[in-house]
Structure 1
Amino acid sequence: MDVEKTPSDIKDQPIDMDDPHAAVAAQEGVYSDPPKGYRILGMTIPAYRSPIVQCLIISCVHLLVVGMFNVLSALGGGGQVDPTTSNNANTILYSLFCVFSLTAGSVVNFLGPKITLAAGGIGYSLLSASYWSYNDNGNQGFVYFGGAMCGIAAAFLWTAEGSLIMSLPMEKDKGKYISLFYGLSFFGTVIGAIIPTVENWGVTTAGSANNATYIALFILMVLGSVVACCISNPSRVIRNDGTRVFIPRNTTFVQELKNVVLAIKREPWIILFFPYSFAGLWYIPYQSNDFNGYFFNLRTRAFGSLWFDFGQFVMAVIMGMLLDLKAIGGRRRRAFVCWGVLFVLLNAVFIGGVFPARISHRGVTPPGGLIDLTDTSRAGGYITLFVFYGCVDGAWQTFAWWIAGTLSNDPLVLSIYSSFYKVFGAMGAAIVFSLDVHGVSYQGMFGSYWGLLAGSMLFVLVLIYKRVQDTSMVVTEAVPHEKVVEEAPDAVEAK
């Protein structure tokens, strides 16, 4: 008779994942020895198939693909003087992002993370290539095609990354892994932002980014697809406590929709997460086009976006550290404390943002003309505000994934939650880019941005109160090919 192993019963023989019976057993919770690291110069280097190394590889993919996309977006108007073409492309991008995110879970489960992430890099690179072409021939159609391909690729890439980053670590390390993921990607964005800053340093007018900027970003995005090929099959990854990552079985589109319904039925409070998700990408057109693109000349736009990305990096790391800081207390208390930190931060920053919003008007040059970074009397304050906008975003995204990760440890459920976050976020982005195209006043864009963020946080506060506990979740199989979530007994007692 087979006896299921426990952490204390781990033997010296690891499970052979080439054996299908052993693979299934591993998915159902059988324990195995974690991979041993390598001793080099007195230091222990984690094993290739350890969760931390896989997290680093995934972060590098995100750094090279989404990070470079963020560099492009932060320039305002895709680096162009007139943001109309960029706004239309982004409306297409986020509309398709929203639609395809609904099917992303089944595609990711069928293709696996390696193929999904590699294809994502190719899709993103087409957008950079389209702006490169637009600089030479003004071909709007190619830019719209690039936006469409980027939107489809983004749906699959974000779903794959989200489910992996939230499921690879042990529960106590989720904040660390999420902050590592976002911290590295935002740091990469900082490094990437040096490219347009250097390439366009001599442009003191409104100006468009030069071809070298787009070529460099294109190459880096393609490199992200190459790095994605180094990702290991998650079924071979063993956590430090000897547990393996559960790998969802291949599902059909119909089954995926059933899983979405099932996930909501089992966790109806997740609906409170939807407004927060909807507001998550609302910032892009206001910050990039209506603030950065409006007040600054080209080189200052590039310079400011570099520091914006630095703000994202710093706050992503700080928020992740706070979310795992045991000195604050249990997971539930940490959720409340970090919610308070984020709420105070965003409202303080937006109070500062009221003053430039009041003097900005579409089609009217800012008072005193475009700001150059040498104009210290104005540039310092405006760039500082832009940096704090980045801080809000870095903290926002890290907190979002951590909250979703507290609701389950099952990658199938987490892939659905990740899809929820991106579906509603992309829906909001598509709407707000359309508003920007139709000329909504800068004050209206700013007010909607502030109101959505502050209001959606109140819904998350209720979600934390109702559902975030200090306990883990366990996975049980209710029907074939469907995973549902049930609370551990101690979670019930905690209520």
Structure 2
Amino acid sequence: MGTTGDENAETKWRFRYNSPLVQIVLIGLVCFCCPGMFNALSGMGGGGQVNSTASNNALTALYTAFAVFGILGGGIYNILGPHLTLFAGCSTYVLYAASFLYYNHYQHQLFAIIAGAVLGIGAGLLWAAEGAIMTSYPPENRKGTYISIFWSIFNMGGVIGGLIPFILNYGRGDDAATVNDGTYIGFMVFMSVGAVLSLSILPASKVIRDDGSRCSSMLYSNVVSECFEIAKLFYNWKMLLIVPASWSSNFFYTYQFNHVNKTQFNLRTRGFNNVFYWGAQMVGSVGIGYVMDFSFKSRRKRGLVGIAVVALLGSAIWGGALANEIHPHPKILDFKDSRSRYAGPFLLYFSFGLLDAMFQSMVYWVIGALANDSEILSRYSGFYKGIQSAGAAVAWQIDNHSVSSMNQLIVNWVLTTLSYPLLLLLVLLAVKDEKDPQDDSVKQVAPSSST
């Protein structure tokens, strides 16, 4: 019996909705609204406040909790699935933005610190789920491309988020010290939309690739088995090789936000700079995604070349940061200042965004190349985010203890440089050029006749 046009249209739509591409776009939009806006808020330096103490303490609480729940998040995702994990995680972002709205009026940091800790729990859940989706849903030979698509959509949130303080504080003059209430309210609106949108994400078992395979045949796990599997990560040699890259990948935010953007530019220009910082991330993710998917036929060779490209670019950018430290500008800069004064520090901050996206996309590609199954990759991604967050918690407290910007720069440069040879070794030892049919980490089943 034939099908009607409406039934055909419905089947096509359901297939498109079940495709890895649509799901990657949706998780990108969720992160656009939640961590994208959070990034714009943090990128202003001090959470948009004249004194960074409250923001530094809130971020320390955030990343301390994130370090724990980032590692646990993969197991929680395997137990609860994407809907509950993502919605619970996204809801905490709204509370964090609200705490700074409160701080704008009462200057009491306790609410911000508590909200930061709660957000750390939620961010651990969100990013563990995101990592599992981004590394396991795409086809094996297009993971770099799908990561770049996600990263571009996600960082568009930082671009739009940077426009919010720029537009709402544009006419307040050079003496404006803190952002206005409307800035925080704007962030809260976007974050609320992201929480609702998270309910649209499908579990891996319902996502169908173009070749007809499902992304995973995973049956949701239980608490005991997940605790055991997470504990095993700490003596998994693959994860240990990723530790320096994980630790350093958010460690540099403190230096970039508080010692470049906050100290060298006025309030409205910081928002303007963030538009380009997060825009640079879109460019960087697309560029490194191309290298790691299309530059060579051999997947191992693509990984090695991608890491080498990021290492060379990163060394050049940190060298530029050193030059900026040695020859600082004597006055706070505005984007309307002469090109000769503004261009150098602006280009450095833009380059930081480029490097951040390329560095993190590179690490995600390596993680995604270690397995194909969302159950395994959710744990790997959670481990990566947990170690990353522990590094960030330390970095924000280092800044709170008035460590010089030069010393922070040197530590960041050393940490990122240390990670490159270890990632090269991991690719050489663990990344296969072709899928091994005997590899037990890959769990795929053919879809049933009904979709």
Normalised by the size of structure 1, how large is the TM-score? 0.84
The structure 1 residue matched to 2:374, chosen from 407, 411, 427, is: 411
User: Which digits, 9 at most, give the CA deviation of each residue in 1:309-364, with x for residues without a partner?
Assistant: 11111101111122111x5231111111111110111011111111222356xxxx
Q: What is residue 338 of structure 1 aligned with on the other side?
A: 306
5 Å-filtered alignment, 1:199-348, equals: 199-202=168-171, 203-205=173-175, 207-262=177-232, 268-325=237-294, 327-348=295-316
Q: Give the superposed CA RMSD.
A: 2.0
User: How far has the Cα of 1:433 moved from its partner?
Assistant: 0.6
Distance of 1:226 and 1:132 partners within structure 2 = 22
Corresponding residue of 2:38 = 69
Q: Is the 8 A contact 2:74 2:381 kept in 1?
A: no
Task: Tell me what 2:345 maps to.
Answer: 382
* Deviation string, structure 1 residues 355-377 (Cα, Å, up to 9, x no partner): 222356xxxxxx53211112123
Match of 1:350 in 2: 318
TM superposition shift of 1:106: 2.5
Q: Is residue 468 of structure 1 aligned with residue 443 of structure 2? A: no
Query: Structure 1 residues 470 and 264 mapped into 2: Cα distance closer, same or farther (>3 Å)?
Result: farther
Residue 179 to residue 411, structure 1, CA distance change in 2 (3 Å): same
Give the C-alpha shift of residue 453 in structure 1: 0.5
Deviation at 1:232, TM superposition (A): 2.4
Question: Unmatched 5+ residue regions in structure 2?
Answer: 1-9, 444-451
1:373 and 2:335 equivalent? yes
> Gaps (5+ residues) in structure 1?
1-34, 39-44, 361-366, 477-483, 488-495
Q: Is the 8 A contact 1:407 1:473 kept in 2?
A: no
- 2:121 is aligned with 1:152: yes
Shift of 1:486: 8.1
Secondary structure (helix, strand or coil) at the match of 1:435 reads helix
Amino acid at match of 1:370: I
SS of residue in 1 equivalent to 2:34 = helix
Quote the offset at 1:117 in angstroms: 1.1
Decide which of 71, 93, 107 is 1:102's aligned counterpart.
Answer: 71
Letter in 2 for 1:226: V
8 A contact 1:408–1:473 mirrored in 2:
no
Secondary structure (helix, strand or coil) at the match of 1:324 reads helix
Q: Give the aligned residue type for 1:37.
A: K
- 1:87 positional shift: 0.3
| 3-state SS of 2:441 partner | strand
Query: Structure 2 matches for 1:21-170, cutoff 5 A?
Result: 37=12, 47-170=16-139
Whole-angstrom distance in 1 between the partners of 2:373 and 2:258: 39
Q: Which of these two proteins has the greater Rg computed from alpha carbons?
A: 1
Identical columns (%): 36
**1:57-95: CA deviations, max 9, x gaps?**
111101111100010011011111111110000000000
Equivalent of 1:459 in 405, 413, 422: 422
The one-character-per-residue Cα deviations of 1:19-62 (angstroms, maximum 9, x if unpaired) are: xxxxxxxxxxxxxxxx9635xxxxxx961111111111111101
Structure-2 residue corresponding to 1:491: none
- The match for 2:441 is 485
| Corresponding position of 1:18 | none
Q: Is the 8 A contact 1:114 1:229 kept in 2?
A: yes
Kindly state the Cα deviation for residue 264 of structure 1 after the two structures are TM-superposed: 6.3
CA deviation after TM superposition for structure 1 residue 261, in Å: 4.4
- 1:428-447 aligned at under 5 Å gives the runs 428-447=391-410
Q: CA deviation at 1:139?
A: 2.2
Looking at structure 2, the residues matched to 68 and 486 of structure 1 have their Cα atoms a distance apart, in angstroms, of 35
Rounded Cα–Cα distance in structure 2 between residues aligned with 1:84 and 1:424: 23
Q: Which deviations, in whole Å up to 9, do the C-alpha atoms of 1:134-165 show, x marking residues without a partner?
A: 11111211111110111000000000010011
3-state DSSP class of the match of 1:47? Answer: helix
Contact 2:41 2:161 in 1 (8 A): no
Q: Once the 2 structures are TM-superposed, how far is the Cα of residue 274 of structure 1 from its aligned partner?
A: 1.1
Output the CA distance in 2 between the equivalents of 1:358 and 1:426.
30
Aligned residue number for residue 29 of structure 1: none
CA distance in 2, matches of 1:186, 1:81: 25
Partners of 1:205 and 1:475 lie apart in 2 by: 65
Aligned length: 433
Aligned partners of 1:261 and 1:92: how far apart in 2?
23
Distance 1:79 1:348, change over 3 A: same
Q: 1:261 to 1:111 in 2, by over 3 A?
A: closer
